[in-house]
Structure 1
Amino acid sequence: MPVAQPPLGGPLGRSRNRLSASALTTYLRCESQWFLAYQVGLHGPLRPSQVAGIVLEDALCELFMMHPPHVSSKQELTDWANPLILSQAKKAHDRGREDWDESLWREQDVSWDDVTEEDFSEKIRNGFELFMEEVEQCYNANGGPFLETRRGGGQPFSVPEPTWGSIPVFPRPEKVPDVELRQWDVEQSASWSKQGEPVTWNEAWECARPWVKDPRVHQPQRLYHPDGWASGELDLVLRWDGNIRIVDIKSGSSQSSFASSLEHQLRFYSWLWAQTHEGQLVEGMEGWYLSGPERIKFTPPTLEDISSLTDFYMKQHQAMQGLAEGVVQFPSSPDTACSGEAAGCYWCQVSRSQSSEWNLHESQQWISELPLPSISSPYAPLSSIQGRVSVKGSLSGAWGPLPNHFSEPVLGAVLVGGTQHIALEESEPGSFPKLHEIKHKDVLVHNALPGVWRDQPRLYVDNVTQILPIGELDDSKSVEVTRLGLLRTRANVKGYVLSIRKRSGRRIDGKPWSMVAFMLWDGSHVAEVVAFGNSINQRILNLKPGSMVAMTGVEIGWRSGLLQLRIDSRKTRLEPTFLL
C-alpha cells in the first residue's frame, strides 16, 4: 500500500530524526546545507517556484481523480479535459497567491504576479499529456489485467487510487470522527461498459489512474520503514498493468540544478517500497517534468541493490544524527563553510573570519551590516544555556504515549529526588523507547536535556541519554550531578532574527494547528524560537530578518539534541526592535 502507519506509535508527521528522500538528497549535495535547514531549522526566503511546485502537483492530482463521461475517442477525452485544465490552473494560481501572501519572509524583487495563470495551464496540460501516454497504453492493452474486476465493481488494490466521490483512505481512521458518514459524493462517477466488451477511452482513464496523495486526507500519507528510522511520501504510483512504477512530479525543468538529485530520490522511494512491501521490487522509476513535458526514466534497484542500499542509508542516517548538538555556532569559519556551489546552498556558504571579514551572497549583505548585539544582564548569550545534565532520583509513575507540544505521542515517567518531582519525557517519539522497561527504582539519569512545558520542568531523554541503576555505578568515573531543584528551564536572550516562517495545518484528529518559527542570532550562535497557537501575536507576525528581539522568560526546549526556545504566552516577554 502507498500509505502506512508508523511503527511504535510514532508521529505521522515529519521527524528530524527520521531519514527522508529530501533530507537524504540535500545531505548528499551538501552536508552543511542539510544540517542548517533540516536540523537547525535555518531556512532562506520563500521563492515563487517553491509555492508553484506544491499547488501545481495538487492541481494535477485533483485532475487525475476526476471521472470522464463515456467517450469514444482519445480526442473526445482530451476535449473533456481541456476546460478542466484551465479551471485547475486558475484554482492552483489562486491557492498559490494566498500561500505567497501569507508567508512572512519572501524573496526580494519578485512577486506572485511574476507567475502567470497561463504558465500554470501549460504545465498542468503537460502533466495531462504525460498521463495520457499511460491512458493510451492502457487502451491498447484493452484496459489491462484489472478491467473486468473494475467493471464488476471490484477494487484490485487494498488501498485504492483516490477518486472524487469515493471514501478516502486515512492512515489513522480511528482519529477521524464519522469518516464514513461524511458526504464524499460529487456529481460524477465512473462509466463502465458491460463485461467482455472492448475497453473505452474513459475506462482506460479509470484503469490507468495512479495512486496519488489524496487532497481530502489531512493526515500525512507516507511509507514508514518497519524500524521507524526512514519514511517517504510518494507523488504517484502507477500500477494499472500489474507492475509498480514510482513517479515524482517536478514543476521545473530537467536542466535544473536540482535535477541530479532525482535518481537518488527515486532509488530511496524504491528501496522504501521494498522494505514496506515484503521485498517487492519496483519495476520502474520516472520523473515527470511539467516544463517539458518530459518523462525521465531510471533503472530501478535490483534485489542485490536493495541490500546494499540498506547499508548505505543506515550509515548516512547515523552520520547525519551525529553531526552536532547543543547550541550551534553561526556563522562558520571560512575553512569549514561550504563553497556555495551545490544547488540550494544559502546559509551554509556564509562565513566570518577571525578578523570579522564576511563571505556571503549579495542577498545576505545585510547581515554583515548589523552591529553585534550588546548582551548584558538580564540577558545572557545562547552559549550559556545549560545543555545535558545528570541527575539522581527514583523512577515512578510511567505514562504515555501522550501528546507533547508538537502533538507527537511520547513516553514519560516521573523522577523523584527528595521533595522535588520532575517529568522525564522522550525528546521525540521513539527517541528512548525502553523508558517503561526500566526495572530499577533508584537511578542516575545521565545526559538528559533540561527544559519546561506548560510551566512544568521537564527532563528530555533521547538516544544519547543513559538511565543507570545507582547500585551499578562505577565509582572510578565521577559524574557531576545536578540537583533537580537547580535545573534551568527558562532563559533571557537577545539577538537578531535571521529567518522566519509560519506553518499551519491540521493534526491527525483534524484539529487545526499553527506555528511560527524564527532563527535568533546573538552574534556568535543561533537557536530556533517557536510559538504555537495562541502564543502567536502580532508582534511575532511583524518580525522580519534583521529585527532585534529581546526575550525574557522564554522556555528552554530541545529538538534532536539542539536548543529550541519556546514562547510562553503568559510568561515570555518579547520586545522587538525593527532595524531593517
Structure 2
Amino acid sequence: MSVKQESSIKLQPLRPRVFEGWILPLRMPVHLPNSESDSIGNFNRLSASQVNAWKACPRLWFYEKVRRLVMPQIPILFVGRAVEEAICQTLKESPCLVMASAPSDVYAPTPLDDEGRPNREHEGSWPAEQLLTLPEKHWPQNKDELLVWATTRVRTHLKASLENMKIEWSKHDRKAGRWEDVDVERCQMMATNGILMHINEVENCLTSVSKKILEEWRNGARTQWPAPDGRGFQLDQHPLSQDGDVTWIEAWEISRPWFVDPDAKPFSMNAVHPEHWFQGEYDLVYSWDGSIRIIDIKASLGNNDRSGDYVKQLRMYAFLWWHTHEKQQEVDGLEIWYLAANSQKMIEKPTIEEMDEMGSELKELWSQLREVTPDIEQCPPKPAPMRSFEPGGVPSDKPAKQTRCERCDWSIICPNGTGHDEHPHGGTYQLPGSYAEIEGDPIDELEDRHDIIGHVHTLIHSQSGRAPRITITQSNNAFADVQVKAMIHSDGTPTVPEGLEKGDLVRVEKAIFQLNYKGAIVLKIDPFARIVKLDSDEKVTMSLLKPRARWNIMGTVVYRTEKRGESARGEWCRRGLMILDNTGAIKVEGWQADWGPQYDMLELGDTVIITNVGMNGWAALTTGEIYRASRLHIVADN
C-alpha cells in the first residue's frame, strides 16, 4: 500500500509544558487535577450527565445528586458496559500476539499505580511484552482475515464481560428485572458492529496514513497517554514495525484509538477542567491521521429521548478538550456510534464562540448546583418536553409515547407524580400499644463521625500487609476497637501513622462511631478518617462514652433494597429502606431477621419510624444500620 507524503501532526513525545500546575502536551485525553490548587475535589465537579439531568428536570437532579437516590439497576445498564468493555479489550490486543481462539485473559493485568492508573514508574515487563510474537503465517493479511480475528476476539471478551456484569448486577441492592431476559445474540451483534466501525478506521489508515507518521510510529513514538496496547509509556522502536509500505498489522496498531484501559480503576482517567469545576471521561479518541475525533459508544438503537442528551454531552466534551489543551487545540469531529442501529451519527462541533458561551453557562450552573448545594425549593419539578428520535439518533416529529413524569423513577415522591413535598421532620410520636413517646431525629441532625483522643492499648501488626488491630483506651477505663477498613486516606496519605506504638497518645479523626451487637464501642476508619499521633500533654476533649450511638429515623419510604449471598454459615439476606424526610435521605439496612414483620407489610410512600438505628457508611455516603434491638413501625399509609 502507498502512503501519503504530507504530515499533519507530530507524534514524537513532546516536551511537557507547564500551565498552572498542569502538564499539557498535545493529544492528551487524560487531564488530572492539580492537587495543590484543587479546592473543589472529586465529589463537587460538574459533569455532562448532571447538566443533562438538570435540564431534563431540576427536581430529578435534586433527587439523584443531592438526596442520592439510586434508580433501579436493570440489566440493560450493565449490558451496555459489557459491550463497550468487550470492544475495548479487543482494541487493546494485537493480532500479532493473540490467536483468535485464545482465552479472554491472555493479556496479564496492566500494572497500575496507587491511584489505579497505568503505572509510569513500572520497571518490569508489560502484558504485551510477556507474549511471544506469533509466526507471520498466523497474521491477518487482509481486511477479511483481520475482521474474522477481531470479531472472534470481541465475542470471546463479550462472554467474559457479560458474566462479570451479571455478577455485579446480582450483587447490587437495587437490581431490578431478570438477567435471563438479556439477549446475548443482540449483544454480539452490537459488539460486532462496533468492531466493524473500527475496522473501517484501520482500512482508512492503511490507505492514507502519512509517511512521516508511519516512520515515527515505527521508531517508537508515544504520546503522553498512549492508546492502551499492553505496552509501557516509552518504546525505543515499536516491536511490530515492518519495512516498506504500511501493513494491515501496522494499520491496526497505528489507528488504535485512546480509551480508558479496562484494567484501570473506575473514574481514574478523567479529563478535568483546569479550574477543576467540570470533568468528563471519553469513550474513544481517534487521532491517527492528525485530527482529533471523540466517539461516544452507545449500545442502543438511539430512538429515545436520551439521544438528545448524547449530542449535548459530546459538545461539552469538545469544550472540555479545548480548555484542557490551553485553548490551542480543538476537536475535529464528534460522533455517536449507535451499535444496535449500526449507525454512526456525526455531530456538529461547537465554534470557539459557542464554546466560550458554553463555558460561561456551565460555570454559572456549577456555582448554582455544586459550589453551594441548593435546597429543594430551588429545584422545582419542571420537566422538559420529551424528544422523539428514529433509530440512529435521527430527530423525529412523532409525539413521544410517554411524558417525562410518567417514566420518572421518583413519581411516588414528586408533586408532579403521586407524591408531595411534605415529609416528616423529626418530632415526638406515640406508637400504638406503647406508653412511651418516641423522639424522631431529623436526618440532617444525625451524627456519624467523631474525633476521639485516647492511648493505644493494643496494637497487633499483620504479617501479610493487612490493617493492624488496634484498641484505644481513656482514663475512665473506656475502650474502643479501632477497625481500620482503609489504609489510604482520600487525600493520599496513610490512615495509620508510621511508627505507631502501644501507649502512644492518638486522635482518631472523623471516625464512624458505632456500637456492635455486643454493645462494644467501635471506631471505623474509612477513607475520610485517620489516626494522628499526639504529644503526651494533649488533653482528651471527648469521652468515648459521650457520642450518641443509636437514633430514631422517621420518614417516607422511597424504595426497598435487598442483597443476597452465601457464606460458610449458609445463605444470608440483607434488606434496606431508603428513607426521605424534609431534611435529607438515608438508606437504613440490616439483616433480614432484624427487620421484623412490618417490613413485608409496608408499601412505597408509607411513613415509617425506625428506632435504635446505628450509624455506618463509607466516605461521603452515610447509612443507617439496624440491629436486634431496632424496631420498624408503620406510622401512616401512603
TM-score normalised to structure 2 length = 0.59
In structure 1, what is the equivalent of residue 30 of structure 2?
3
Q: Deviations along 1:491-527, whole A, 9 cap, x unmatched?
A: 3214565336699xxxxxxxxxxxx996633676651
Instruction: Mark the CA change 1:4 to 1:519 in structure 2 (over 3 Å): closer, same or farther.
Output: farther
In structure 1, what is the equivalent of residue 227 of structure 2?
161
Aligned length: 446
Residue 575 (structure 1) shift: 4.5
Which of 1 and 2 has greater Rg? 2
In structure 2, what is the equivalent of residue 508 of structure 1?
none
Residue 262 (structure 1) shift: 1.0
What is the rounded CA distance, in whole Å, between the counterparts of 1:300 and 1:254 in structure 2? Answer: 19
What is the rounded CA distance, in whole Å, between the counterparts of 2:41 and 2:577 in structure 1? Answer: 20
Residue 114 (structure 1) shift: 1.1
**Gap runs ≥5 in structure 2:** 1-27, 97-138, 385-401, 420-428, 448-484, 494-505, 511-521, 530-540, 564-573
Q: Deviations along 1:449-470, whole A, 9 cap, x unmatched?
A: xxxx9489xx99xxxxxxxxxx
SS at 1:499 equivalent: strand
Instruction: Mark the CA change 1:12 to 1:317 in structure 2 (over 3 Å): closer, same or farther.
Output: closer
In structure 1, what is the equivalent of residue 164 of structure 2?
95
In structure 2, what is the equivalent of residue 127 of structure 1?
194
What is the rounded CA distance, in whole Å, between the counterparts of 2:299 and 2:595 in structure 1? Answer: 30
What is the rounded CA distance, in whole Å, between the counterparts of 1:500 and 1:244 in structure 2? Answer: 45
What is the rounded CA distance, in whole Å, between the counterparts of 1:213 and 1:235 in structure 2? Answer: 7
Asked if the contact 2:190/2:339 (under 8 Å) is kept, the reply is: yes
Asked if the contact 1:382/1:527 (under 8 Å) is kept, the reply is: no
Aligned pairs for 1:514-525 within 5 A: 520-521=578-579
Instruction: Mark the CA change 1:272 to 1:380 in structure 2 (over 3 Å): closer, same or farther.
Output: farther
What is the rounded CA distance, in whole Å, between the counterparts of 2:357 and 2:331 in structure 1? Answer: 16
RMSD: 4.9
SS at 2:323 equivalent: helix
Residue 116 (structure 1) shift: 2.2
Q: Deviations along 1:196-227, whole A, 9 cap, x unmatched?
A: x1111121111110011101112521011122
Residue 350 (structure 1) shift: 3.5
In structure 2, what is the equivalent of residue 55 of structure 1?
82
In structure 2, what is the equivalent of residue 321 of structure 1?
370
Instruction: Mark the CA change 1:522 to 1:64 in structure 2 (over 3 Å): closer, same or farther.
Output: closer
Instruction: Mark the CA change 1:39 to 1:410 in structure 2 (over 3 Å): closer, same or farther.
Output: farther
Quick check: 1:202 aligned with 2:249? yes
What is the rounded CA distance, in whole Å, between the counterparts of 2:29 and 2:549 in structure 1? Answer: 42
What is the rounded CA distance, in whole Å, between the counterparts of 1:384 and 1:7 in structure 2? Answer: 35
In structure 2, what is the equivalent of residue 297 of structure 1?
346
Quick check: 1:409 aligned with 2:409? no
Residue 192 (structure 1) shift: 2.5
With 536-545 and 207-216 compared, the bigger mean Cα shift is at: 536-545
What is the rounded CA distance, in whole Å, between the counterparts of 2:60 and 2:258 in structure 1? Answer: 32
Amino acid at match of 1:253: L
SS at 2:336 equivalent: strand
In structure 2, what is the equivalent of residue 216 of structure 1?
263
Q: Deviations along 1:3-25, whole A, 9 cap, x unmatched?
A: 23223369999944210111111
Aligned pairs for 1:181-330 within 5 A: 191-194=240-243, 197-218=244-265, 220-279=268-327, 280-321=329-370
**Gap runs ≥5 in structure 1:** 170-188, 361-371, 389-402, 412-420, 426-452, 461-482, 504-515
Residue 115 (structure 1) shift: 1.0
Quick check: 1:136 aligned with 2:203? yes
SS at 1:552 equivalent: strand
Instruction: Mark the CA change 1:540 to 1:239 in structure 2 (over 3 Å): closer, same or farther.
Output: farther
What is the rounded CA distance, in whole Å, between the counterparts of 2:347 and 2:614 in structure 1? Answer: 50
Aligned pairs for 1:359-508 within 5 A: 359=418, 379-383=438-442, 385-386=444-445, 407-409=489-491, 454=523, 491-495=551-555, 497-499=557-559
Amino acid at match of 2:333: G
What is the rounded CA distance, in whole Å, between the counterparts of 2:619 and 2:576 in structure 1? Answer: 14
Amino acid at match of 1:136: E
Quick check: 1:105 aligned with 2:174? yes
Residue 289 (structure 1) shift: 1.0
Asked if the contact 2:405/2:417 (under 8 Å) is kept, the reply is: no
Instruction: Mark the CA change 1:336 to 1:215 in structure 2 (over 3 Å): closer, same or farther.
Output: closer
In structure 2, what is the equivalent of residue 476 of structure 1?
none
SS at 2:585 equivalent: strand
What is the rounded CA distance, in whole Å, between the counterparts of 1:14 and 1:129 in structure 2? Answer: 39
Amino acid at match of 2:228: P
Instruction: Mark the CA change 1:404 to 1:36 in structure 2 (over 3 Å): closer, same or farther.
Output: farther
Q: Deviations along 1:359-401, whole A, 9 cap, x unmatched?
A: 27xxxxxxxxxxx99699675445475499xxxxxxxxxxxxx
What is the rounded CA distance, in whole Å, between the counterparts of 1:528 and 1:10 in structure 2? Answer: 32
Amino acid at match of 1:499: Y
What is the rounded CA distance, in whole Å, between the counterparts of 1:298 and 1:119 in structure 2? Answer: 26
Instruction: Mark the CA change 1:384 to 1:577 in structure 2 (over 3 Å): closer, same or farther.
Output: closer
Instruction: Mark the CA change 1:423 to 1:136 in structure 2 (over 3 Å): closer, same or farther.
Output: same
Asked if the contact 2:615/2:623 (under 8 Å) is kept, the reply is: yes
Instruction: Mark the CA change 1:105 to 1:297 in structure 2 (over 3 Å): closer, same or farther.
Output: same
Quick check: 1:25 aligned with 2:52? yes
Instruction: Mark the CA change 1:317 to 1:112 in structure 2 (over 3 Å): closer, same or farther.
Output: same
Aligned pairs for 1:173-184 within 5 A: none
